[in-house]
Structure 1
Amino acid sequence: MWSSMPSSYLPATTESIVKAQEAKDASESISILYRVLEDPSSSADALRTKELAITNLTNYLTKENRAEDLRNLLTKLRPFFALIPKAKTAKIVRGIIDAVAKIPGTSELQISLCKEMVEWTRAEKRTFLRQRIEARLAALLLENQEYTEALNLLSGLIKEVRRLDDKLLLVDIDLLESMLHFSLRNLPKAKASLTAARTAANAIYFTGRSEGISSLKCMLLCKIMVSQADHVAGIVSSKAGLKYLGPDVDAMKAVADASLKELIEPYSRVEIAHIAEMIELPIDHVEKKLSQMILDKKFAGTLDQGAGCLIIFEDPKTEEIFPATLETIANVGKAELRHRGDVVADGVRRMGEEKESLERRLQDVMMATDVLESWVMENNRTGDTHAVDDAIQPADVLSRQMIECTAADLALEDTVYALDKAVQEGSVPLMAYLRSVRALARKQFSPRALSAKVHSAPQQAKIASMAARAPQNLGGLKGCRPIIFCGCAEYKRACNYKSDKPPHKRRAEDLRNLLTKLRPFFALAFKAKTAKIVRGRGIIDAVAKIPGTSERQISLCKEMMEWTRAEASKQGWRPFC
């Protein structure tokens, strides 16, 4: 821990502390105490001895005016702070900072030390200690006339301390803020801070618990003695009184309630005026107190305001089923709350996922925006101006024709729209409007017709390309002319040509092979045309016209049934064979 000190350590015992106190000079005592702090033991006795060694070491370093060593000591003690309670850590840290303050000419060192400790306490989440060091830092900045930094520090610290309701620290901070505003000659704010300090100080009733309980008991007894027992409950339930709840305070409450409870105990029905006369208090005060005691279940009864009397009931016996029922209802409520909590947690999770998704989309949009802005800036720097017509370049001749036809069609449409507006406003005579519209309609027919033709050209080219990939001849048919397929219609005519030949020139096996080889063509033709080629005046009927082919017809029909079923599962065809 202490790189600048000797590597050997002394055990953290009382004998080592005594040895340091009996050393010849302060330097030797400091060296011994450093060696005690190097003891790796973390037992309870060792920790207490190290705390005593830290206190003695701080005193020796202060007497020697070694402020920098105190600063290094505070830094090197951080691993030790993890072994002791936070309250003791706060005491040691504040003690060392106070010791540095006793050395003259260390204001800058104190400010730097406080800033370091604020960062450490914030990282370690030691809120109590951090707030007090920040208050000390603000006071040092005020002394050093660094008003802006001190004011920024106090503005955030005051909000945090007010949320925690730490009255003692709040008084110190408000006073410090008042002095800061006074130094800045801002008298209204200085008075407001001073008033806030006085208000916070008035809310601090007692300094310690034992003194507080004694003072509270005296106050409650005075209230009972001056016939103001109904004020006791309000004092005990106040924010200051809740700090001292215990047997003593409960006894005071019992005394306050007994003054009325003992009077009404012998009665089952008693007039409120009689009770007020007995304790010498106004009737409305007694009625209010009795009502409060009934609501607090001090006794069972009711107030009959019409008759002006109090009716007291016997203590009801609690049925055994009631606690069980209440427990069941509470468990059901807890289960419902857990279910709703799960629903809320799931909603929060989904909202978080949606938020992350939106953030990713936002990043993508911002990146695209940066790219577009870069492109715009680059083009603006070049200063080149392009014609609007050159902004879009067609890819081929058909695209250019489509653009020109569409532009001409829309231009004529806009002209007709303008004429409609003009004739509605009376700027153009009706007969001139009709003649113009007729002429424009005739002129508009040409670009629209050409646009439709250009639009259908790619489809025709696609069909021709598909037909070009089909077989170029039927193959395997002797004595038959080659057939070149240019499209579905030509393919159909070729099939009819082959099936219409005289029976003596047909061959049944070739017709069967023809039907097999035509299957790729059927993928290009319509379903109805495919059905017509296969059956009807098609190939199967042509096979039937050849004598002695019944067995071949059965085999051919079975093959086509299997093929149509396969095509039905792939393309949704209905079997037609």
Structure 2
Amino acid sequence: MTTNQALLDEAKNTNPARAEEIYKQILVSSASPSSVERDQVLRDQGNAMIKLAELYRHQRNAQGLAEVITLSRSFMSSTAKAKTAKLIRTLLNYFNDIPNSRQTQIDVLLDNIDWSKREKRIFLKHSLEIRLVSLQLEVSQFNAALTRIDTLLTELKKLDDKMILTEVHPLESRVYRGIGNLVKAKAALTSTRTAANSIYCPPHLQAALDLQSEILHAEDRDYTTAYSYFYETFENMSSQDDPSALNALKYMLLCKVMLNLPEDVTTLLSVKLAVKYAQLREIECMRAIALAHQNRNLAEFEKVLLRFPFDVQLLSGPTIRSHLAALYDPLLEQNLLRIIEPYSVVEIDRTLKRSELSQMILDKMFYGVLDQGKGRLLVFDEPEVDDTFGTAIDTLEQVGKVVGSLYARVSSFWFCVYNR
């Protein structure tokens, strides 16, 4: 057994502080001239690096994990490029379990992108840049993400790498969606499908493309079409245990609410594929929003938004946030209707602004008049529609058709008579 292997065994059975010292000691050890021993030392260093990163992950130490990635560069210079890319992706994935580490991860990515560029590791650089853009999207750094994407796309088009282009164009679409440019967001998605048609597109990537396409449908307020596509995507993602299936389910529930069908939310969550998500906080929030909409209760809707804050990652996304903002006005109108429906006269001070009521009267959401002098709202019953005039007009139209037909026949008869 080599010295490094003995140290690794010791680190497994000691306290975290001592284990940290051992792993660092292995990382700075030098290899002997023998190729066999040198390979063994590199393997031990790789194992020590992973174990040290795992230790920092358990300790929620983002800065320590960043230092491990920086230390790994000397090790990566002695290994194959494919193994290097796999190792750095593994180390970066450990940040996902450390809360509030996004900015540290962004700094690490920027530093390693510069290193990859200096070392001329182009494919590693592209991989890191894609990850960086995804993080910048999460923290709403749209301008920085767009600048990075423009440069990245220029390089990828020169290389004609369709696979990576299929990954980057959806990010471009999401960035343009984030800044509100839906035309360019759709154009980027079209470019994605063009690139995807010429290669084999993995199922998870195809599902991500479909999900982005459906989000853009929802942005056009075409909720019926968006829902049908969301459902199909949700089925595909659930069968593959894709974490994005939860997003597809949230968007499905959102479409039901926006279509004024909040009662369908409970039925939808009883479907076999959706049952395993039904108890998650995000889904609980959507269920509560649907219930508030069903009850036409604005106060309940506002309480839901306070009860489920942004840390559940429901309202932090631009898609759901924008649609919930659009839901506020119709819910306000429904809340007003619920208040005034039982009465024929309502004191305006007890409801909301007069402008809201007057607009609702103009939109014929209910029938009434504002008595400005007494500060009252007079509510009328919905007038009954008299179909007599409409029926009379329909009858006259049919009589006109009969007369026209008879006239045509008579004209034809006399034309035949005169031409004998």
Answer with 1 or 2: which has the greater Rg.
Answer: 1
Higher relative contact order (CA 8 A, sep 6+): 2
